[in-house]
Amino acid sequence: MGALLFPGQGSQIVGMGSEFFQNFEKVKKIFKDADEKLNFPISKIILNGPEQTLQLTQNTQPAILTVSYSIFKIMVEEFDFDLKQIKFFAGHSLGEYSALVCAGSLNFSDALFLLHERGKAMQEAVPLGKGAMLAVLGIEIGEVKELIKKSQNNRSGICEIANDNSKGQVIISGDSDSIKKFQLFLKEKKIKSIPLKVSAPFHCSLMKPAAESMSEKIKNTNFTKPKFDIINNVKALPETEAENIKSLLIDQIYSTVKWRESIIKISEYGVSNFIEIGPGKALTGMVKRTLNDVKSFSINSIADIKNLKNEFKK
């Protein structure tokens, strides 16, 4: 059995999806639909950049959705990939929207609108330069939680776990001052950490204003029961009820992305093939660091789809 995984922010690159755009009319139509829905040429930004425009959160989020959805449609409709082999869909942060679209719960154009608005809301929640994120490497989440407690030592400020990505990779988010202090604290302990190039401190309580501004927009969007179980980021559990999915998407904006737990939960159901659909290979790497004895595939070219089909015939 398999699971389809959809990447989040950080996987974007100028030119992503261009091979599919050049080879399939279906993809040209998806890109055109995205331009029309958003009222600006997101397709040109995806294919030609400039990079700094693609990196703007309100562009990055619908752009990654557009590419992931395009690849999924080609896999299923042009290469007859058999979805009967798939038990779960899951997406990392904005990738959860891609998962919901591909699982038939959310209309593509509605998801584009929500992600563009979500990107703007997340960017506007915290003034530029006032928030930061930090990757902590080589230690487990329990130890990171303890270190945050010790470093805070009754100090005010926000320093929270944003993403539990994999064994040995935990992302911290908060106000710039608290994150800098935590980084120095880790350095004293000889624990490796890397500041992330991000425009806002995602998935921490500083994002609550963004969740509030997205709440009505998400609630007023039509979601239906997905055709596949979606493992959500907030609880790392399967969810198929439309109203629950909506409230979890609102909470997800300021909550920890429990990705490592999600991957473990999927494997507990006997899934041994993890297929990442979209730009980059970030999720494939996270699966490899978290689980042994499973296969992981990243699909972002026509050759990748052909190789996957051959693997599944074995």
Query: Which residues are known catalytic residues?
Result: 93, 203
C-alpha to C-alpha distance for 54 and 47, rounded to whole angstroms = 10
Residue pair 169/286 in contact (Cβ under 8 Å)? The answer is: yes
Smallest CA-to-CA distance from 142 within 261, 234, 262, 255 is with 261
Q: How many Cβ atoms from other residues are within 10 Å of residue 137's Cβ?
A: 12
Q: How many Cβ atoms from other residues are within 10 Å of residue 185's Cβ?
A: 18
User: Long-range contacts made by residues 303-309, C-beta under 8 angstroms, separation at least 24?
Assistant: 305/71, 305/74, 305/75, 305/79, 305/81, 306/79, 308/75, 308/81, 308/275, 309/79, 309/81
Q: What is the DSSP letter of 158?
A: -
Q: How many Cβ atoms from other residues are within 10 Å of residue 153's Cβ?
A: 7
C-alpha to C-alpha distance for 297 and 40, rounded to whole angstroms = 33
Structure tokens that stand for 173 in this block: 């988010």
Smallest CA-to-CA distance from 278 within 304, 240, 245, 249 is with 304
